[in-house]
């Protein structure tokens, strides 16, 4: 019924608009309207509302059947569908004006369940009645409780904020105070925090003692104006205002559910109560994130900021609020607190103020230094450190770059690190280090890392290679992003702080690749070419071989022999396949680089790189395809007598596709499938032209895509056929 009233209302207004524009519009509409009005006039609910709006002051309640019937009607509608905004206005006005005395007042208030929104004007008018009429205190409390319950449904808050001072005056009413404080908490803005209000509340505090409601309101005042009031909330006083009336709440949600709209739950203040659990045990708690608090503005500073009102970051709770206020956000008192909140992190991403970032870096650097470098007793609490570092890492991950203080810390820490303390976190931090000029990279990074690498376990070696791979990837990505931006040729110059030239960047990358190549060669030797380490090394070279095409960096560096041969002679087919894939990508990169080199002299790739590449490819093809392991000019050329003395039959063919230890099982399998009836195993029969191509297809069907690409790009079948005939 309320809904029907709603719609008729809106119809009426729209009709009014129409009649103004086109008066001669069809009569039928007007007739229909009349009809509806007549229907409405008969609607008992509308009649009931009419009764309450016009009932005269002083009408008796006792024995008044009209009143009783109408109120029951309203109540029934309220609990089933909720009341429309107009109905709320009428009933609220009726109750608070005490036209029929105080008796029905509470009863009416209890049934004020809004269907959609509560008009602000009604609330303001009712608040005014508070001071005029002689409403009993219990009913006043009931009214404020009702406002608190439906606060989120009030359609606007500007007029309510305008009478902030008026509402504040009720704070002295002892019974109302807790509820008024809650209401004020919901309405407070920076402008509303005044010295005399603070004094009033403090006066109350001295009268009433430590009351949570006063403290919570004052703590909000502190968020806005820390220069006026200060306090510290004990951790046991956690509960915020508990003023909701559950029957109302339940009725409200029931009505909302029925109407299919669920308004946001009422504002429950989130208070920054310092979490002291655990920290008390520790003497130094550097790893605690500071709380988000606002700056106490004083003298000089408040003059600057008075021109535009700033919003303290501590007051923002959602990304929406952040977006709305992004032009007038006030940085918190302690920059380190930004790391603790996700909204603040979003904001950190757009801060360009050098001082602000320097503050953050001082805090972060100090925390890291104190915890990991200066702590004499070495009693690092791992769980806390772990939590801190993971938070730092997630922030860095979000911002997609590291903080300079954590870099500076790492350069020192690497020299004293044992390689096992918080290894995953430290390695992850390490991979976020930005490009280091090649003149310093050795001292800062390579020297400590070399020591760690050669004195640590296999797993550390793998972790380090992975970390350096990530570092390289980040450097290259950074390059490709900025190289792309350079093509656009405009940029916001304010971001500039440190410039590196292209050649400087290339030098650094080259140093890094050579360094990893060196580590990998020696590491593989030390660990007996362990398959796990080899896999991480190949990961690294998968990044390296594609620097030109994937990241647009004109640089091609071949793997050293210490990586190439272990990978090729590996006993697992996956490594060989990945090596083939890497060589294939090298070829694609080199050919496309060569093509570009011809077009424009963008860069020059040295002959030596090509020679190294050719050398590797020729070796692989000769071994795998031609069964000519030893040929003049190859790296591996033992004396003839030595080979004969070894007693290996057909030694020149021991690393072709059939006899390579990585593939011999496939060859056997293929042999059985191809000639199931044969009793004697004769692997060399696969070498014949037809079975050979079947065999290759069989290998490719096993998922060796790297080999497939490698063969496709390096061997033309015709040449292969000729080769075959020669043999």
Smallest distance, other proteins to C-beta of residue 285, A: 10
Burial of 645 (0-12, 13-18, 19+ CB in 10 A): exposed
Longest distance between any two alpha carbons in the chain, whole Å: 128
What are the Cα distances from residue 657, in Å, to 296, 401, 568, 663? 76, 45, 12, 6
Is position 642 an interface residue for other proteins (rule: CB under 8 A)? no
Taking CB under 8 A as the criterion, the residue among 64, 243, 293, 380 binding other proteins is: 293
Q: 373-381 long-range CB contacts below 8 Å, 24 or more apart?
A: 373/409, 373/412, 373/413, 373/416, 375/284, 380/421, 381/282
Smallest distance, other proteins to C-beta of residue 407, A: 6
Contact 91, 112 (CB under 8 A): yes
Is position 381 an interface residue for other proteins (rule: CB under 8 A)? no
**Residue number with CB closer to other proteins (25 or 439):** 439
Smallest distance, other proteins to C-beta of residue 277, A: 16
What are the Cα distances from residue 156, in Å, to 89, 120, 124, 149, 264? 15, 6, 11, 15, 15
Considering only CA atoms, which of 158, 199, 204 is closest in space to residue 180?
204
Smallest distance, other proteins to C-beta of residue 584, A: 30
Smallest distance, other proteins to C-beta of residue 190, A: 16
Considering only CA atoms, which of 663, 633, 639, 662 is closest in space to residue 651?
639
Is position 438 an interface residue for other proteins (rule: CB under 8 A)? yes
Is position 378 an interface residue for other proteins (rule: CB under 8 A)? no
Considering only CA atoms, which of 166, 179, 173, 175 is closest in space to residue 217?
179
In a 3-state reduction of DSSP, which class is residue 269? coil
Q: 166-195: which residues touch other proteins (CB under 8 A)?
A: 195
**Cα dihedral 200→204→205→210 (10° resolution):** -140
Taking CB under 8 A as the criterion, the residue among 181, 223, 364, 576 binding other proteins is: 364
Show the CA angle centred on residue 474, arms to residues 469 and 477, nearest 5°.
125
| Residue showing tokens 């930005």 | 434
Taking CB under 8 A as the criterion, the residue among 15, 163, 187, 366 binding other proteins is: 366
Distance CA 518, CA 534 (A): 13
Taking CB under 8 A as the criterion, the residue among 10, 501, 608, 701 binding other proteins is: 501
Smallest distance, other proteins to C-beta of residue 147, A: 25
Contact 458, 530 (CB under 8 A): yes
Is position 275 an interface residue for other proteins (rule: CB under 8 A)? no
Is position 370 an interface residue for other proteins (rule: CB under 8 A)? yes
Distance CA 28, CA 14 (A): 16
Q: 396-425: which residues touch other proteins (CB under 8 A)?
A: 399, 401-405, 407-409, 411-412
Q: 473-492: which residues touch other proteins (CB under 8 A)?
A: 478-479, 482-483, 486, 489-492
Is position 708 an interface residue for other proteins (rule: CB under 8 A)? no
Taking CB under 8 A as the criterion, the residue among 340, 437, 554, 691 binding other proteins is: 437
Smallest distance, other proteins to C-beta of residue 377, A: 12
| Residue showing tokens 């020299």 | 415
**Residue number with CB closer to other proteins (230 or 317):** 230
Smallest distance, other proteins to C-beta of residue 269, A: 16
**Residue number with CB closer to other proteins (73 or 198):** 198
| Residue showing tokens 């049934």 | 111
For 355-462, where are the E strands, in sequence order?
Answer: none
Smallest distance, other proteins to C-beta of residue 470, A: 16
**Residue number with CB closer to other proteins (403 or 704):** 403
Is position 500 an interface residue for other proteins (rule: CB under 8 A)? yes
Distance CA 580, CA 583 (A): 5
Smallest distance, other proteins to C-beta of residue 514, A: 16
Smallest distance, other proteins to C-beta of residue 134, A: 34
Considering only CA atoms, which of 370, 374, 413, 412 is closest in space to residue 388?
370
Distance CA 193, CA 214 (A): 14
**Residue number with CB closer to other proteins (402 or 419):** 402
Taking CB under 8 A as the criterion, the residue among 434, 554, 661, 691 binding other proteins is: 434
**Which range, of 78-86, 298-306, 574-582, 652-660, touches other proteins by CB under 8 A?**
298-306
Is position 440 an interface residue for other proteins (rule: CB under 8 A)? yes
Contact 71, 104 (CB under 8 A): yes
Contact 681, 671 (CB under 8 A): yes
**Which range, of 131-139, 297-305, 568-576, 678-686, touches other proteins by CB under 8 A?**
297-305
Show the CA angle centred on residue 517, arms to residues 514 and 520, nearest 5°.
150
Q: 28-47: which residues touch other proteins (CB under 8 A)?
A: none
Is position 215 an interface residue for other proteins (rule: CB under 8 A)? yes
Taking CB under 8 A as the criterion, the residue among 101, 133, 340, 504 binding other proteins is: 504
**Which range, of 239-247, 291-299, 460-468, 519-527, touches other proteins by CB under 8 A?**
291-299
**Residue number with CB closer to other proteins (85 or 402):** 402
Taking CB under 8 A as the criterion, the residue among 181, 316, 333, 620 binding other proteins is: 333
Distance CA 150, CA 346 (A): 32
Q: 222-261: which residues touch other proteins (CB under 8 A)?
A: 222, 226-234, 237
Is position 301 an interface residue for other proteins (rule: CB under 8 A)? yes
Distance CA 253, CA 256 (A): 5
**Residue number with CB closer to other proteins (218 or 252):** 218
In a 3-state reduction of DSSP, which class is residue 311? strand
Is position 205 an interface residue for other proteins (rule: CB under 8 A)? yes
Distance CA 429, CA 395 (A): 11
In a 3-state reduction of DSSP, which class is residue 431? helix
Q: Which residues contact 323 (CB under 8 A, 6 or more apart)?
A: none
Show the CA angle centred on residue 39, arms to residues 36 and 43, nearest 5°.
130
Reading the block at residue 111, the tokens are 């049934």
Is position 199 an interface residue for other proteins (rule: CB under 8 A)? yes
Is position 7 an interface residue for other proteins (rule: CB under 8 A)? no
Q: Helices 689-701 and 717-726: crossing angle, nearest 10°?
A: 140
Distance CA 531, CA 571 (A): 9
Taking CB under 8 A as the criterion, the residue among 66, 191, 275, 298 binding other proteins is: 298
Smallest distance, other proteins to C-beta of residue 357, A: 5
Size of interface with other proteins, in residues (CB under 8 A):
97
Smallest distance, other proteins to C-beta of residue 568, A: 36
Smallest distance, other proteins to C-beta of residue 348, A: 8
Return the sign of the alpha-carbon dihedral for residues 668, 669, 671, 677. Answer: positive
Taking CB under 8 A as the criterion, the residue among 292, 313, 368, 513 binding other proteins is: 368
Contact 580, 714 (CB under 8 A): no
**Which range, of 58-66, 175-183, 210-218, 420-428, touches other proteins by CB under 8 A?**
210-218
Taking CB under 8 A as the criterion, the residue among 57, 62, 262, 300 binding other proteins is: 300
**Residue number with CB closer to other proteins (39 or 230):** 230
Smallest distance, other proteins to C-beta of residue 415, A: 9
Contact 542, 559 (CB under 8 A): no
Total number of residues shown for the chain: 727
Distance CA 21, CA 498 (A): 66
**Which range, of 172-180, 239-247, 283-291, 651-659, touches other proteins by CB under 8 A?**
283-291
Taking CB under 8 A as the criterion, the residue among 383, 496, 701, 725 binding other proteins is: 496
**Which range, of 16-24, 117-125, 128-136, 353-361, touches other proteins by CB under 8 A?**
353-361
């Amino acid at each position: 019924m309320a809904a029907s009233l709603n719609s008729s209302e809106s119809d009426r207004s729209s009709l009014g608009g129409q009649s103004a524009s086109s008066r001669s519009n069809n009569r039928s509409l007007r007739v229909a309207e009349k009809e509806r009005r007549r229907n409405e006039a008969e609607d008992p609910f509308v009649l009931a509302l009419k009764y309450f709006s016009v009932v005269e002051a002083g009408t008796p309640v006792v024995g008044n059947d009209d009143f009783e019937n109408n109120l029951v009607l309203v109540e029934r509608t309220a609990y089933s569908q909720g009341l429309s905004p107009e109905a709320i206005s009428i009933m609220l006005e009726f109750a608070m004006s005490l036209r029929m005395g105080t008796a029905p007042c509470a009863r009416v208030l209890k049934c004020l369940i809004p269907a959609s929104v509560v008009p602000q004007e009604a609330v303001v008018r009712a608040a005014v009645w508070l001071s005029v009429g002689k409403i009993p205190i219990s009913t006043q409390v009931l009214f404020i409780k009702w406002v608190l319950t439906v606060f989120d449904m009030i359609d606007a808050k500007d007029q309510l904020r305008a009478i902030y001072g008026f509402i504040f005056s009720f704070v002295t009413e002892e019974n109302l105070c807790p509820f008024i404080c809650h209401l004020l908490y919901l309405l407070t803005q920076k402008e509303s925090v005044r010295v005399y209000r603070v004094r009033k509340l403090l006066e109350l505090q001295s009268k009433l003692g430590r009351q949570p409601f006063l403290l919570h309101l004052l703590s909000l005042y502190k968020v806005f104006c820390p220069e006026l009031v200060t306090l510290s909330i004990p951790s046991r006083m956690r509960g915020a205002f508990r003023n909701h009336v559950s029957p109302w709440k339940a009725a409200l949600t029931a009505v909302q559910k029925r109407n299919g709209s669920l308004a946001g739950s009422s504002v429950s203040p989130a208070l920054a109560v310092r979490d002291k659990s655990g920290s008390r045990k520790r003497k130094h708690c550097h790893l605690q994130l500071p709380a988000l608090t606002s700056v106490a503005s004083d003298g000089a500073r408040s003059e600057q900021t008075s021109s535009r009102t700033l919003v303290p970051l501590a007051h923002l709770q959602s990304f929406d609020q952040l977006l709305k206020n992004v032009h007038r956000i006030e940085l918190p008192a302690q920059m380190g607190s930004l790391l603790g909140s996700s909204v603040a992190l979003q904001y950190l991403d757009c801060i360009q103020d050098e001082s602000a970032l320097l503050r953050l870096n001082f805090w972060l650097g100090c925390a890291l230094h104190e915890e990991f470098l200066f702590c004499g007793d070495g009693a690092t609490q791992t769980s806390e450190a772990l939590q801190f570092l993971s938070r730092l890492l997630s922030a860095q991950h979000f911002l997609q770059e590291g903080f300079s203080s954590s870099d500076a810390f790492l350069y020192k820490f690497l020299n004293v690190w044992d390689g096992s303390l918080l290894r995953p976190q430290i390695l992850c931090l390490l991979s976020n280090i930005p490009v280091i000029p090649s003149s310093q990279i050795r001292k800062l990074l390579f020297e400590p890392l070399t020591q760690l690498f050669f004195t640590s376990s296999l797993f550390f070696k793998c972790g380090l290679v992975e970390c350096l791979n990530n570092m390289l990837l980040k450097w290259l990505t950074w390059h490709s992003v900025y190289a792309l931006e350079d093509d656009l040729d405009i940029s916001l110059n304010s971001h500039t702080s440190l410039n590196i030239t292209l050649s400087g960047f290339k030098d650094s990358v080259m140093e890094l690749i050579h360094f990893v190549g060196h580590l990998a060669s020696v590491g593989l030797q030390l660990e007996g070419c362990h398959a796990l380490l080899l896999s991480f090394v190949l990961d690294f070279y998968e990044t390296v071989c594609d620097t030109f095409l994937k990241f647009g960096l004109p640089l091609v560096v071949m793997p050293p022999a210490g990586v190439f041969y272990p990978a090729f002679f590996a006993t697992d087919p996956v490594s060989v396949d990945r090596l083939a894939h890497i060589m294939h990508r090298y070829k694609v990169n080199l050919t496309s680089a060569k093509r570009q080199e011809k077009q424009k002299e963008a860069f020059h790739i040295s002959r030596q790189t090509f020679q190294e590449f050719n050398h590797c490819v020729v070796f692989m093809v000769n071994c795998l395809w031609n069964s000519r392991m030893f040929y003049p000019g190859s790296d591996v050329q033992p004396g003839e007598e030595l080979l004969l003395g070894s007693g290996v039959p057909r030694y020149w063919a021991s690393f072709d596709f059939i006899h390579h230890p990585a593939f011999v099982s496939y060859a056997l399998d293929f042999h059985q499938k191809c000639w199931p009836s044969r009793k004697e195993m004769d692997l060399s029969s696969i070498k014949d032209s037809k079975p050979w191509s079947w065999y290759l297809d069989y290998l490719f069907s096993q998922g060796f895509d790297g080999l497939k690409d490698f063969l496709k790009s390096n061997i033309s079948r015709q040449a292969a056929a000729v080769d075959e005939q020669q043999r």
